[in-house]
Amino acid sequence: MAFTNEDRWLAICSIPRPPRLWPLTPQTGSVRNLAPEERCFRLAADPDRNRILVNGMSGHVLLLSTSGELERSLATLGYLSLALDPAGGRAVASPYDFSPIPQRDRLFWEWDLTSGKQRVHSLAHLDDPDWMGFRDMAFAPDGSLYVAGPGNVRRLVLPDAHQGAVSIETVFEAGSTRSLLSRDGRFLLVMGSEKRGGSIVLQELFLFDLTRHESRRITTHGDSLSTAAFDPSGRVIVTGDFDGVVRSARSPEESPICCSATRGISRLSPSHRTGAGSPRRLHRRFGCGQCRTCRSHRFTRCPTTS
């Protein structure tokens, strides 16, 4: 789901139906298909330019206007996750599958939406043998990307030079993760589970303040989450769970309870990462027993309660 067109529409991708626009008020119009012949797998929206990026189950990557006009057919690649950069006129795509992706196929595509020029970046330096791609991707205001999938949430920085490597920084680790970024880029909402897989119940919810470098665990939305979203203001969190319950609340103002790391955590060897020991034990080892799975040197504020 993505808000678009001055928040008058909600773009929906329901597998295996066509991408749709749902009006947010009766005055806006009625539900309509954006690409009637294309079965949607993933989509991303650019609300400032009224454009939708769609990956169909045919593998096509299409740039559409909210009126349904095809602006550009970018590629035919397979099943992908997508993101649009509202500041720079870029689109990006990464493979996403339900089984490990071979090293040779770990690629990241970038398009300039003005010229249509494509760049392909290698992600072969991701050495996790069970890597299944990125399920969620979003551009931050500084041009970096926050991406999530089985295993962790990461921050990527794409190279300026054609031959440069993609910089990858781990922000959060768990068996399975999903994430989304508020429109202003201040808040990162993360769902996590200790179980690994592409489509499972997510038991924990965290809110990262990227401006103040703090994180909070949210406990009022239950522990059987399937999806979450920010409203356009970025101050209201909406979640859905596997029991069919939808919850909505303003971003909490409670004290942060998820600390992260001392410097040592950012230098952990592979044997100390998820899979070789529980996150709880790792954080106790570094002197912060109340913390659970968030571990980035960017979030350094520890719990204020015992």
> For the whole model, what pTM was predicted?
0.78
> In this predicted structure, what is the pLDDT of residue 105?
92
> Which residues, in sequence order, are CB contacts of 192 under 8 Å at separation 6+?
172, 174, 175, 176, 177, 178, 202, 203, 204, 206, 293
Range(s) of the domain holding residue 127: 2-253
Cα dist from 186 to 114, 139, 182, 189, 230, whole Å: 27, 11, 6, 10, 12
> In this predicted structure, what is the pLDDT of residue 197?
61
- The DSSP line for 213-232 is TEEEEE-TT-S-EEEEEE-T
Tell me the pLDDT tens digit for each residue of 23-43: 888 888 889 999 888 999 999
Q: How far apart are CA 215 and CA 115, in angstroms?
A: 39
ω into 16 cis (within 30 of 0): yes
Contact 169, 154 (CB under 8 A): yes
**Structural domains counted in the chain:** 1
Asked whether residue 90 is assigned to any structural domain, the reply reads yes
> In this predicted structure, what is the pLDDT of residue 10?
85
Asked whether residue 282 is assigned to any structural domain, the reply reads no
Tell me the pLDDT tens digit for each residue of 201-213: 888 899 999 998 8
> In this predicted structure, what is the pLDDT of residue 188?
94
Asked whether residue 289 is assigned to any structural domain, the reply reads no
Asked whether residue 273 is assigned to any structural domain, the reply reads no
Query: Residue 187: pLDDT above 70?
Result: yes
Q: Chain-centre distance of CA 11, in angstroms?
A: 16
Asked whether residue 285 is assigned to any structural domain, the reply reads no
Q: Determine if residue 67 is left, alpha or beta; phi over 0 gives left, psi from -120 to 50 gives alpha, anything else beta.
A: alpha
Structure tokens at 61: 């990557």
Structure tokens at 192: 């996590």
Domain CATH for 237: 2.130.10.10
Q: How far apart are CA 33 and CA 14, in angstroms?
A: 11
Asked whether residue 132 is assigned to any structural domain, the reply reads yes
Asked whether residue 272 is assigned to any structural domain, the reply reads no
Average confidence (pLDDT) over 157-177: 88
Query: Residue 87: pLDDT above 90?
Result: no
Asked whether residue 247 is assigned to any structural domain, the reply reads yes
- pLDDT-based confidence at residue 118 (cuts at 50, 70, 90): very high
DSSP 8-state code for residue 211: T
Cα dist from 246 to 200, 205, 225, 268, 296, whole Å: 17, 14, 10, 38, 30
Q: How far apart are CA 291 and CA 260, in angstroms?
A: 7
> In this predicted structure, what is the pLDDT of residue 7?
67
- Measured in degrees and rounded to the nearest 5, phi and psi for residue 103 equal -55, -40
Tell me the pLDDT tens digit for each residue of 138-166: 999 999 999 998 888 999 999 986 678 99
